[in-house]
Amino acid sequence: MKQSKLLIPTMREIPNDAEAKNLQLLLRAGFIRQVSGGVYAYLPLATRVLKKMYAIIEEEFEKIGSVEIKMPTLLPSSLLENTSEVGYDDKAYNLKNRTGKEFVLGSAYEGLISELIGDEISSYKRLPLTLFQIATKYRNDKRSRFGLLRSHEFILSDAYSFHATEESLNEMYRAYQKAFEHIFERLGVKVKGLLGDSQIDEQTDAFEYMALSESGDKIGAFSTGSNYASDLQAATSAFVSKKSHEPNKEIEEVTFAEKENLEEASQALSIPLQKTIKAQLYLADDTPILVLVRADQKINELKIKKHLEAAQLIAADETQSQAYFQTPLSYLGPVDVPDECKIYADLQVQDLANALTGANKEDTYLKNVNPDKDFPVDQYADLRLVQEGDTSPDNLGTLELKKGVEVGRMIKVGTYFSERLKTAVLDENGQHVPVQMGYYELGISRLLATIVEQNSDEEGINWPAEIAPFDLHIVQTNMEDEEQTALTNSVEEMMLEAGYQVLVDDRQERSGVKFADADLIGCPVRITVGNKANEGAVSIKFKQTQAKIEVKKEELVSTLAILLNSEG
């Protein structure tokens, strides 16, 4: 294909508003253009890459029996009623038609596809069944960030499997894990698998795939001594007791009119945060609970919901704090708590002695508070976010926290939707059983951005061979040279016959501009037709390794076959 016939608007300079590395590279190489914040147009080169990515996903999914479907983008708002607990409805784009009926732009299909299965399948004999689609989805975030890594409009592959038994679901779950691994390998992207947060039900298994990146909006916890890896929200650590042996002192009230929180009070009293107790009021299924952690640590609400098996957990506001404690949130503490409010404390709280905490009285704190002596704890449990250096839950090494991008996830949804939608089939005994469901997601536009960030250098992108927009980029240095033109045409014909996809730079530009653009675009191989065209010789450059070699035209096909196999 002639480069003069394609829309490849390369850029010499990085746009001022392009902070993310993937956005800088894709803009400069002419793959995309920003239409508005978080919305991008995919130009010809990006479209070619995406088609190859789609083909890989389709091929690997078809190997495990997954069948492609196409769901509508415009969805009635009523369909979100059964998925609101998943957290999608607050990020939907809402619109109305001319009759006033409300719609949303599609982002979540679990409820819709579960309903479809319930309407069409009534017997276990038609299960298992697994379906997938590749579609543009929409997320109404307050702001987009990091280029294609987080945008308002994005491309996603979402797959769903349906089963009569949990055993069948587990088998398909493992099959999708292998399919994902094959896809990542073929795409040339490095990812880490880790335990995840299902965002559906705290008892539900989830597995995530993260690509490490400083531009990432996720944090993973990784053990230094084992294969343990988890999303920060789902991560746990081994409890290592460090019980204080200080003799208990008598409680003492301290008043600070100008200190508005526990941290400021601890600083004024020269008490380390590790020796303070932060109290947070929650409503767990409308029941008030007080959660205690050390003030230098953060509460993990996912762990609280999972521990209590609560359907809903809401952090109390100032009005609710006044209703239950008659005090602002900043001064809550565990001493003299109302009878209807149970106390749940993180494991590390039990090790404290003579701690500082709120006094349930405005501008007032309590010194020398001791757990179990000065206040009862209904239950101790792991209720905090893990921290860097915590002991790994398997006691092998410590935890490291690393930023990354979530590029895939899978969830054993189980009967969550089928029970709500009354989706059931008859089993072999003629009994109605709820359908088991699995969900499998790949962020394709995120993967595109991640591949670019992981496969690039100062010159531009280095595309993995299987998804490169073209296999070979032929650059003719002088368009006025008839010998060069004849050799370029001959080489192009040879390469096409050999099965390569070829891009030919036939533009009337200086050779330096052509080379710079070729480096930005990043095809695996550049063939330069230059000063030795009269000798029938061309120069080959391999983008990934920067290796160069000069060969005769007659040796080109065999040389490439050998060297590309070696590079691969």
Give the CATH number, domain containing residue 137. Answer: 3.30.930.10
**Alpha carbon distance 249, 333 (integer Å):** 18
The alpha helices in 17-122, defined as continuous H runs, are: 21-28, 44-63, 110-120
* Residue predicted with more confidence, 383 or 139: 383
Are 72 and 97 contained in the same domain?
Answer: yes
User: For residue 221, what are the CA distances in angstroms to 163, 192, 224, 401?
Assistant: 32, 11, 10, 5
Q: Is the pLDDT of residue 259 over 80?
A: no
Q: Are residues 155 and 76 in the same domain?
A: yes
Same domain, 231 and 256: no
Domain contains 392: no
Residue-range definition of the domain harbouring residue 481: 470-567
Residue 5, domain member (yes or no): no
Whether residues 45 and 132 fall in one domain: yes
Judgement on whether residues 499 and 439 belong to the same structural domain of the protein: no
Q: Looking at residues 343-358, what average pLDDT do you find?
A: 95
307 occurs within a structural domain: yes
Q: Do both 213 and 77 map to the same domain?
A: yes
Is residue 4 in a domain?
no
**20: pLDDT confidence band, cut at 50, 70 and 90?**
confident
Task: Please report the pLDDT score of residue 88 as a whole number.
Answer: 47
* Residue 357 pLDDT greater than 90, yes or no: yes
Please report the pLDDT score of residue 87 as a whole number: 41
Residue 544 has pLDDT above 50, yes or no: yes
Instruction: List the CATH number of the domain containing 488.
Output: 3.40.50.800
**Paired tokens of 360:** 């349930």
Q: Over 50: is that where the pLDDT of 187 sits?
A: yes
Cα–Cα nearest to 304, from 296, 316, 295, 292:
292
Q: Could you tell me if 287 and 301 are in contact, meaning their C-beta atoms sit under 8 angstroms apart?
A: no
Give pLDDT tens digits for 260-288: 788 989 999 999 999 999 999 999 999 99
CA 280 to chain centre: 29
**What average pLDDT does this structure show over 97-125?**
85
Residues of the chain with pLDDT > 90, as a percent, come to 68
Q: Does the pLDDT value for residue 86 go beyond 50?
A: no
- pLDDT at position 566 is 65
What does the alpha-carbon distance between residue 315 and residue 282 come to, in Å, rounded to a whole number?
4
The arithmetic mean of pLDDT across residues 434-455, rounded, is 94
- Nearest CA-CA partner of 32 in 149, 140, 137: 149
- Per-residue pLDDT at 110: 82
Q: Identify the pLDDT of residue 201.
A: 53
Task: Tell me, yes or no, whether 145 and 187 share the same domain.
Answer: yes
Question: In whole angstroms, what separates CA 328 from the centre of its chain?
Answer: 37
Mean pLDDT of the chain: 90
3-state secondary structure of 543: coil
Domain-located, residue 242: no
The residue from 381, 413, 438 where one domain ends is 381
Check: CB of residue 65 under 8 Å from CB of residue 51: no
3-state SS assignment for residue 438: strand
Question: What whole-number percentage of the chain has pLDDT above 70?
Answer: 95
Claim to verify: residue 448 and residue 354 sit in the same structural domain = no
Whether the per-residue pLDDT at 518 is higher than 60: the answer is yes
Rounded to the nearest angstrom, the gap between the alpha carbon of residue 537 and the centroid of all alpha carbons in its chain is: 48
Q: 83-97, 127-141, 155-169, 261-275 — which is least confidently predicted?
A: 83-97
In the 3-class helix/strand/coil scheme, how is 291-325 assigned residue by residue?
Answer: EEEECCCCECHHHHHHHHCCCCEEECCHHHHHHHH
Other C-beta atoms lying within 10 Å of the C-beta of residue 348: 21
| Helices 44-63 and 166-187, packing angle to 10 deg | 140
Length of the chain: 568
Is the model's pLDDT at 83 over the cut of 60? Answer: no
CB 302 within 8 A of CB 284: no
| Domain finish residue from 381, 410, 431 | 381
Minimum mean pLDDT among 46-55, 65-74, 89-98: which range? 89-98
Same domain, 433 and 544: no
- Which of helix, strand or coil describes residue 505? strand
pTM: 0.88
Regarding whether 186 and 111 lie in a shared domain, the answer is yes
Q: Which of 29, 55, 28 is nearest to 444 (CA)?
A: 55
What residues have CB less than 8 Å from 320, skipping those under 6 apart?
Answer: 281, 283, 288
Distance CA 102, CA 80 (A): 11
d(CA 38, CA 556): 44
CB < 8 Å & 24+ apart, contacts of 451-457 = 451/187, 451/188, 451/189, 452/21, 452/22, 452/25, 452/26, 453/21, 453/22, 453/25, 453/213, 453/215, 454/188, 454/189, 454/190, 454/211, 455/188, 455/522, 456/21, 456/25, 456/522
Determine the pLDDT at residue 196. 84
Q: Is residue 462 part of a domain?
A: no
Please report, for residues 212, 491, 537, 559, the alpha-carbon distance to residue 534 in angstroms, rounded to integers and kept in the order given: 49, 14, 8, 20
Separation CA 62–CA 45 (nearest Å): 26
Q: How many domains does the chain have?
A: 3
pLDDT digits (tens, 9 = 90+) for 33-51: 989 888 999 999 999 999 9
Cα–Cα distance measured from residue 330 to residue 190, given in angstroms and rounded to the nearest whole number: 44
Residue 412 vs residue 146, higher pLDDT: 412
Burial class (CB in 10 A: 0-12, 13-18, 19+), 554: exposed
- Rounded to whole angstroms, how far apart are CA atoms 141 and 152? 7
pLDDT band at 475 (very low <50, low <70, confident <90, very high): very high
Q: How far apart are CA 277 and CA 333, in angstroms?
A: 8
Report the pLDDT value the prediction gives residue 85, as an integer from 0 to 100. Answer: 40
pLDDT computed for residue 94 by the predictor = 83
Is residue 7 scored above 50 in pLDDT?
yes
- Asked if pLDDT for residue 84 goes beyond 50, the answer is no
Backbone angles phi, psi at 277, to 5 degrees: -115, 115
Let me know whether 217 and 103 are in one domain. Answer: yes
Q: Please give the Cα distance from 304 to 203 (Å, whole number).
A: 12
Could you tell me the pLDDT band of residue 80, with boundaries at 50, 70 and 90?
low
Chain-centroid distance, C-alpha 378: 36
Q: By three-state DSSP, how is residue 112 classified? A: helix
Chain centre distance of CA 566: 33
Cα–Cα distance, 540 to 27 (Å, whole number): 26
Q: What is the mean pLDDT of residues 315-342?
A: 93
- Maximum pairwise Cα distance, the chain: 97
**Residue 515: pLDDT over 80:** yes
Q: Assess if residue 280 is contained within a domain.
A: yes
What pLDDT is recorded for position 418?
Answer: 81
Judgement on whether residues 369 and 225 belong to the same structural domain of the protein = no
Q: How far apart are the C-alpha atoms of 206 and 337, rounded to whole Å?
A: 37
Cα(188)–Cα(192) distance, rounded to whole angstroms?
13
**Strands, E, within 415-487: which ranges?**
424-426, 432-434, 436-443, 472-476
Judge whether 386 lies within some domain: no
Of 54, 7, 53, 51, nearest to 33 by C-alpha is 7
Closest CA to 333 of 302, 290, 373, 303: 290
Q: How confident is the model at residue 204 (pLDDT cuts 50, 70, 90)?
A: low
CATH number for 375: 3.90.960.10
